[in-house]
């Protein structure tokens, strides 16, 4: 495998031998992470969602809107709407209908920020209300995020 990844595919990576025992492996991993200044500050893994992967249907000012996911984590998401919708930071979105890869969730959330993408669309950062997602749904979200990220990695490797 070392030959395939390092020489044949020329992937810029390293490797760690895992057959040397758990204690020694942990020590090597810790040193590697320290050398790369990995401080463990990211608490949630995010998946960038390609077009068509997920939708979000919130109610806002008495209207049912449709939004597409830009990215997703077990803590929140970013979405963009078709048309001109203006939400301020702090806007509460109750009982969202979130559908990702055929899996449906009904969290509540709130807008924490708005930014414009390269195309000029407003991208809304929505955090899920912690009490609106139980452990089972949070695990399903993590599974969906892992699935989306794995598919992205598989596509990149297929193009190599």
pTM: 0.71
**CATH 2.40.10.220 domain residues, the chain:** 47-157
pLDDT at residue 149, rounded to an integer: 93
Second CATH level (architecture) for the domain 47-157: Beta Barrel (2.40)
Q: How large is the average pLDDT for residues 37-52? A: 83
- For residue 148, the surrounding DSSP H or E stretch is helix 135-159
- Span 17-36, pLDDT tens digits: 777 888 888 888 888 888 87
Judge whether 154 and 3 are in contact, CB under 8 Å. no
């Amino acid at each position: 495998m070392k030959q395939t990844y390092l020489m044949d595919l020329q992937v810029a990576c390293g490797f760690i031998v895992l057959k040397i025992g758990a204690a020694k492996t942990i020590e090597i991993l810790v040193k590697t992470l320290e050398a790369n200044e990995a401080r463990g500050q990211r608490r949630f893994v995010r998946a960038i969602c390609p077009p068509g992967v997920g939708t979000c249907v919130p109610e806002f000012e008495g209207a049912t809107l449709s939004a597409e996911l830009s990215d997703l984590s077990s803590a929140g998401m970013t979405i963009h709407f078709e048309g001109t919708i203006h939400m301020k930071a702090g806007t509460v979105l109750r009982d969202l209908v979130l559908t990702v890869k055929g899996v449906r969730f009904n969290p509540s959330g709130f807008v924490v920020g708005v930014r414009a993408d390269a195309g000029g669309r407003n991208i809304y950062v929505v955090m899920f209300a912690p009490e609106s997602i139980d452990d089972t749904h949070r695990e399903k979200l993590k599974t969906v995020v892992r699935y989306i990220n794995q598919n992205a990695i598989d596509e990149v490797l297929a193009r190599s």
